Structure 1
């Protein structure tokens, strides 16, 4: 069965840690695709909020 796991973090290091923890339990051959996206919200540099997100498509 194909599954999707979504990740959403404010810091790229948190995203990396969360994804690595999840992927450690998935066999490489079961990973179909990984999509990555970064969004910045706000106009002034001091007021910007970043959103780092990823989606892992895998076979369970």
Structure 2
């Protein structure tokens, strides 16, 4: 059976919470890109069996 996979990966990203939206700022090598998190997640609306992972690393 064929499977269709959708994925969303942002690295080196900072989240900014505002009153009516959440902004993700991806810090790339030459520029910063800004995304509305709701718009990114809207592509997955109605999908079942979602896996959501959020992690961070900190030097010790």
State the TM-score, normalizing by the size of structure 1.
Answer: 0.43
Report the structure, 1 or 2, having the larger helix content.
1
Relative contact order: is structure 1 or structure 2 higher (C-alpha 8 Å, sep ≥ 6)?
Answer: 1
Q: Under a length normalisation based on structure 2, what TM-score does the superposition of the two structures give? A: 0.43
